Every structure is written in C-alpha cells, then in structure tokens.
C-alpha cells in the first residue's frame, strides 16, 4: 500500500477488536517513531497498553476505550510543538494504515492516566488511538478545493493534488479550518483559520499536501 493509498483508505476508527498489536508489528511502529523522533526532536511513544488513557466518560461514549494501544504525542514545549506533532503524528498514522492497523487522533483523553515518559520541558499534546478496528470507518463530509484555497478555476496540477489529499486528512471535529494560498511565484502558504487543535490540524494537512505534491 502506497502513502496515497493509505490516505484514501484511512478513516477515524473508534471501535476496536480486543486484539493486541502483534509484537513484530509493534516493533516496526516503534522503529518508525524512533526515526520520526530523530528527525524532529519529538518524543512520540507507542504505548502498547493504552492503560487508563481513555478512562473518561466522553472517551467511553465515543468507544475509544476499546483501543488496545496508543501513540502518546509528546515533545519539547515551544511555539511550533503542536504543528510538528501533527506532521509527524500523521506520518505515523499513515504508516499504521500501511501495516493494516486503524487509528483515531484524540484530543479527549485522561492526561494523568497516560503511561508515557514526559521529561522535563516536554508536554503531552494529544494521543492517537491505535489497533485493529472493528470497522474501517467511513469517509467524512468535506469542503471543496475552492473553499480552502485562494485560487479560483485553473490551478497547477501539483497544487490541486496536494489540496485534494489535504481534504482527506483528519481534522479535529472535522473542522477543516485551513487555507492553502498559492502566490504568483508558486510559493504555498497554509493559513490556520483557528479552532480547537487547529495547529495540530495544520501539521496533519501539510503532511498530506506534501505527499500529493510529490505524486505529480
Ligand atoms: C487534532 C484532532 C483531534 C481529534 N480529537 C478527537 C476526539 O477527541 N475524539 C474523537 O472521537 N475524534 C477525534 N478526532 C477525529 C476527528 O473527529 C476526525 O478526524 C474527523 O471527524 C474526520 O474524520 P476522519 O478522520 O474519519 O476522516 C480528532 C482529530 C484530530 C485531527
């Protein structure tokens, strides 16, 4: 499965089978996170046992407490932490999809119950539920390309493809509060239109956009 295929196959899954991730697969995921951490300076961690991460009424109501494992998105506190978490966390989400696993980003969780290592100066921003889904989820409602760009009508193929894949990305409460702007020199800027966790969303959609742009 290519990254683009993983983007098309991925949907948030909130109901999981009571089946742990096999040790071999978990090791692959850990190695992938290690590579991301080396590149980014983040401290992403696979917690094979999700523990009490979703011990919260809201998480239970959503079904997330059925997830056997969790990726704790931790990193050194700073202005761009959330966006970096979004970018590298989404790389891990797509890699998990390629391994046949399902995921759901979750801003709602019980922070004090997350069995992650958080060093001095670091912050736990968000978690990602991970495991074998009881279903594969379903496609979300989406804004149109025109609604999230500054270009009307004709646009370069690479830009259109990037935005198309960005629209398939997960965003908090499916808000899609981002805007891709293309200037006359072909430079792209992505604007945060502000909402809950929209800085994390920004990193996630940049990850998808780059994959689309590379494709063309
Ligand atoms: C930053 C972020 C936080 C999220 N938090 C939650 C959450 O707390 N609970 C939940 O059920 N889904 C959560 N989601 C999943 C979104 O609801 C989901 O991505 C969106 O509805 C789009 O659907 P899709 O992921 O299936 O494409 C979150 C997603 C993101 C990106």
Domain count, the chain: 2
Average pLDDT over residues 47-74: 95
Q: Whose CA is nearest to atom 17 of ligand 1?
A: 173
Q: For a pocket test of ligand 1, which of 8, 94, 105 has the largest count of ligand atoms closer than 8 A to its C-beta?
A: 105
CATH number of the domain within which 110 lies: 3.40.109.10
Which of 51, 158, 54, 162 is closest to 106 using CA atoms?
54
Q: Per the structure block, which two tokens stand in for 161?
A: 């493809």
- Separation between Cα atoms, residue 45 and residue 117, nearest integer Å: 8
Q: Whose CA is nearest to atom 29 of ligand 1?
A: 172
- Asked if residue 95 has pLDDT above 90, the reply is yes
Q: Whose CA is nearest to atom 12 of ligand 1?
A: 106
What is the domain range of residue 121? 3-131
The verdict on 9 and 93 lying in the same domain is yes
Q: Rounded to two decimals, what is the model's pTM?
A: 0.98
DSSP state of 176: -
What pLDDT, on a 0 to 100 scale, did the predictor assign at position 152? 82
The pLDDT tens digits of the residues spanning 116-157 come to: 999 999 999 999 999 999 999 999 999 999 999 999 879 999
SS3 label, residue 70: strand
Domain final residue, candidates 84, 99, 131: 131
- CB of 197 shorter than 6 A to ligand 1: yes
The verdict on 96 and 12 lying in the same domain is yes
* Ligand 1 centroid to residue 13 C-alpha, Å: 9
Average pLDDT over residues 8-35: 98
Strand order in the sheet with 102-106: 45-47, 69-76, 122-131, 102-106
What is the DSSP annotation of 91-113?
Answer: HHHHHHHHTT-EEEEES-S-GGG
């Amino acid at each position: 499965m290519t990254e683009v295929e993983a983007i098309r196959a991925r949907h948030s899954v909130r109901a999981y089978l009571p089946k742990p991730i096999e040790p071999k697969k978990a090791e692959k995921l850990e190695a992938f996170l290690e590579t991301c951490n080396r590149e980014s300076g983040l401290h992403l961690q696979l917690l094979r046992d999700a523990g009490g991460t979703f011990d919260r009424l809201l998480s239970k109501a959503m079904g997330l407490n059925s997830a056997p494992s969790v990726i704790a998105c931790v990193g050194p506190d700073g202005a761009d932490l959330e966006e970096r978490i979004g970018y590298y966390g989404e790389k891990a989400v797509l890699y998990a999809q390629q391994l046949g696993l399902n995921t759901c980003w979750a801003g709602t969780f019980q922070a004090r119950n997350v069995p992650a290592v958080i060093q001095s100066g670091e912050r736990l921003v968000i978690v990602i539920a991970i495991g074998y889904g009881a279903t594969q989820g379903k496609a979300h409602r989406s804004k149109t390309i025109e609604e999230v760009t500054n270009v009307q009508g004709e646009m370069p193929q690479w830009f259109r493809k990037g935005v198309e894949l960005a629209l398939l990305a997960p965003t908090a409460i499916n808000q899609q509060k981002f805007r891709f702007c293309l200037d006359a020199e072909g430079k792209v800027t992505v604007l945060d239109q502000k909402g809950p966790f929209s800085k994390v969303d920004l990193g996630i959609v940049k990850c998808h956009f780059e994959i689309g742009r590379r494709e063309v």
